[in-house]
Structure 1
C-alpha cells in the first residue's frame, strides 16, 4: 500500500480547512481535525483522518448541528446529564468535559451522562485532557449495531469503546483505549478503503462464517474480544452510555456510514476523579512511577513489558518528528474535498513526497 508522509500540523490545518468549508465554525473544525490527527499520530489510523469524508457528507446532508447548544439538562450533586443537541461528537465531548472539569474542584468526583451526540472519534484524545487536569477518567461510549450478542445471530451491540486514563507523574499517562470487539470497526472500514484483506478472527459474514473480506465483514458482524467476557463488557458500556443518559441504544443508533437520513443519537458516560481528593498528588505520582518501574522489571531480560498507551506515545513522538504516513487512497479522498483545490501531498515538499510502502 502506497502512502506519503505528511507533517502533522500540515495535516491538521488541511483537514480543519475542509471541515470549516463543510459548515463547522473554525474553532470546532480545528478541534475535530486535531482529534483525528491525534489518532493518526498515535498510530490509531482507524480513528484518524480517513473519517473526514463521512463527516463532511453528514455535514452536507444537514445530519449534524453545526452550532449545537450543548447544555446541562439535569444536575444533582456531582451527577450531570448533558444534551449534545446533535453536535459533532468531538464538539459535544469537549464541551461536556469542560463542564465537568469546572465542577471537579468542589465535587471531587463528577459523573456525566451525554445524549444526542455523534461519533466522537478516539476517546484517548479527551482522556489525555482529563489526565492533564490531574483527574482520572473512565469513559464509555455507545456505537451503532455491529456486533451480535453472545449466542445471538443479529447485530445488536456496537463496538462500544471503553477508555481509562490516569496521569503518572513524569511518565506518560496510562491510557487504556479499546473497543469491546476484537478490533474497532474503523480498522475494517480502513481496510476496505485501501483495498486490503483483514485477518481471520476479526469478523464473520452475514451467514456467520469467518471472513477476511472487509466488505463481507462490514455486512456481517464484528466479534467481541474474549468471547462472552467481551460481550458482557460491551453490554455494561451500553448500559452506562445509553441507559444512564437516555441516548439511543442498540439498533436505534444511526450508523455513521449507512444511515444517511437521520442523526446518530450516540450516548456517552464518563466519570472524573480528582486525584488530590484521594492521595497527595506528589505521593500518587511517585507511586505511579514506581508501579510502572516494577511492572517493566517483571519481564524477562530479552522482552520489554509495556504499559497501556506506551506504544502509542512512542508512535506519536516518532510521527511528530518524521511525519504521519497517510495512505495514498486517503490522501486522494482528502484532496477531492479540498475547497480550494490545494494539494495535501505537495510534490515539492521533501517530506510529503517521501512515498513509502507498508
Structure 2
C-alpha cells in the first residue's frame, strides 16, 4: 500500500490494541497486564487524546528496556482506612497502578459513599479522563488528579521550573446525554502540543509560553528557553500547586524538584503520584434524580442564546464522545510519520507491523 500522497492513515481500534499488547508483551509484560495497558492506550486514541495513546508506545518501551519501569511490579495497598487507601505501584506501568486505584476507590465508595485513593511509585498513565470516567458505569462521579512527568512551569513570578502541567479530570454520569467530562491541564497548553508544533514547523500562539525576560515565546524550537504559562495567571499557578500537593505530596510521591523528566531520563524511577476521588450517587439521594438533573442542565446550556458567529455551545466531553463514536467506526487517524516510527519499532521487536486501512488526507 502506498501512503506517500497522504499524511494520515486510519487504524482500527482493535488493531491498535493488538499491536500495543504485542509490543509490551515482547519487552516482558505479562499478557493480562499488556492487554490492560493496550486497551487504555487505544482508548486514548479513540477519544482523540492522541498525545497520550500509541504515540507514547516507543517511549514506554524505551523506559522498560532501560529499567525505568518494572515489567512485573508488586502493586499493593500500603495504607488504608474505610474511605481511603494509598497504593504503591512498585514502579509499574502507570495504567496498571491507576486502574487498581480506581477499582479500590469504587469498592470503598460503595460502602462509605465517598473514597479517596492515591498512588505513589507509579508512572505516566495517559489522559486523566480515562480514570475519571471509570466510575460512570457504576453510577458514580469520578475526580482525578495527577502530577505531570516533567516540570515546565515556574511559580508565578519565578524562573525555576518547580511545577508541571498537573492535570485535573472530572466525570459526571447522565441519563440520556453524553456524560459531562472535563479533562484539563493547569497550563494554557500541554507540553506535548509544543513538541507537535515544532514537528510541524508551526509557531505557537502567544500566551502559551514566555521567555526568561517575560516576553512571549512563539518559536517551539526555542521552548527550552522559556516556560509554559498557567491558566488564569496566578490562579492557575496556585491550582497546579494544589493539585501537586494532593496527587503527589499527600501520597509520598514526587513533587517539585523531585519530579523526574521522563522525556530525557529513561532509567530513574519517576515516583509519579495520582489520586482518584469517587462519589457514589446512591449515598446522595440516588443516581436517577441526579442524572436527570444533569441532563436538564446540559440541555439548558446547549440551548442557551449564543453570541453572533457561534454555531454551537459545547459541553465538556462532548467532542471526545463524538470522536469515540466516529473513530470506532472509521478508525483512528494516525500521522504517517508516527506509523513509520511504529513500523521501525515492530521490526526491532520482531512483531507484526500495525495493520491499517486506506490513507486519508489530513484535515485542513
TM-score (norm 1): 0.93
* Secondary structure at 2:172 match in 1: strand
TM-fit CA distance, 1:264: 0.8
Who is 1:118 aligned against?
Answer: 123
Contact kept in structure 2, 1:50 and 1:190, CA below 8 Å: no
Ranges in structure 2 where 5+ consecutive residues have no aligned partner:
1-5
CA RMSD of aligned residues (A): 2.0
Residue 214 (structure 1) aligned to one of 201, 205, 220: 220
Distance in structure 2 (CA, Å) of the matches to 1:211 and 1:345: 40
User: Which digits, 9 at most, give the CA deviation of each residue in 1:28-58, with x for residues without a partner?
Assistant: 2222222222222222211221111111100
TM-fit CA distance, 1:206: 5.7
Who is 2:330 aligned against?
Answer: 322
Distance in structure 1 (CA, Å) of the matches to 2:225 and 2:79: 39
Task: Note if 1:308 corresponds to 2:295.
Answer: no
Distance in structure 2 (CA, Å) of the matches to 1:140 and 1:187: 20
Distance in structure 1 (CA, Å) of the matches to 2:152 and 2:182: 22
* Secondary structure at 1:147 match in 2: coil
Contact kept in structure 1, 2:142 and 2:172, CA below 8 Å: yes
Who is 1:265 aligned against?
Answer: 271
* Secondary structure at 1:112 match in 2: strand
Ranges in structure 1 where 5+ consecutive residues have no aligned partner:
none
Distance in structure 2 (CA, Å) of the matches to 1:205 and 1:19: 39
Distance in structure 2 (CA, Å) of the matches to 1:27 and 1:229: 42
TM-fit CA distance, 1:204: 3.1
Go from structure 1 to structure 2 and tell me whether the alpha carbon gap of 1:94 and 1:341 turns closer, same or farther (over 3 Å shift).
closer
Contact kept in structure 2, 1:140 and 1:240, CA below 8 Å: yes
Contact kept in structure 1, 2:170 and 2:181, CA below 8 Å: yes
Paired residues in the alignment total 354
TM-fit CA distance, 1:207: 5.8
TM-fit CA distance, 1:93: 0.3
Who is 2:239 aligned against?
Answer: 233
Task: Note if 1:204 corresponds to 2:207.
Answer: no
Contact kept in structure 2, 1:161 and 1:180, CA below 8 Å: yes
TM-fit CA distance, 1:277: 0.5
Residue 176 (structure 1) aligned to one of 175, 182, 187: 182
Go from structure 1 to structure 2 and tell me whether the alpha carbon gap of 1:271 and 1:357 turns closer, same or farther (over 3 Å shift).
closer
Distance in structure 1 (CA, Å) of the matches to 2:355 and 2:87: 40
Distance in structure 2 (CA, Å) of the matches to 1:219 and 1:19: 35
Task: Note if 1:134 corresponds to 2:139.
Answer: yes
Go from structure 1 to structure 2 and tell me whether the alpha carbon gap of 1:89 and 1:206 turns closer, same or farther (over 3 Å shift).
farther
Farther off after superposition, 18-27 or 81-90: 18-27
Task: Note if 1:352 corresponds to 2:353.
Answer: no
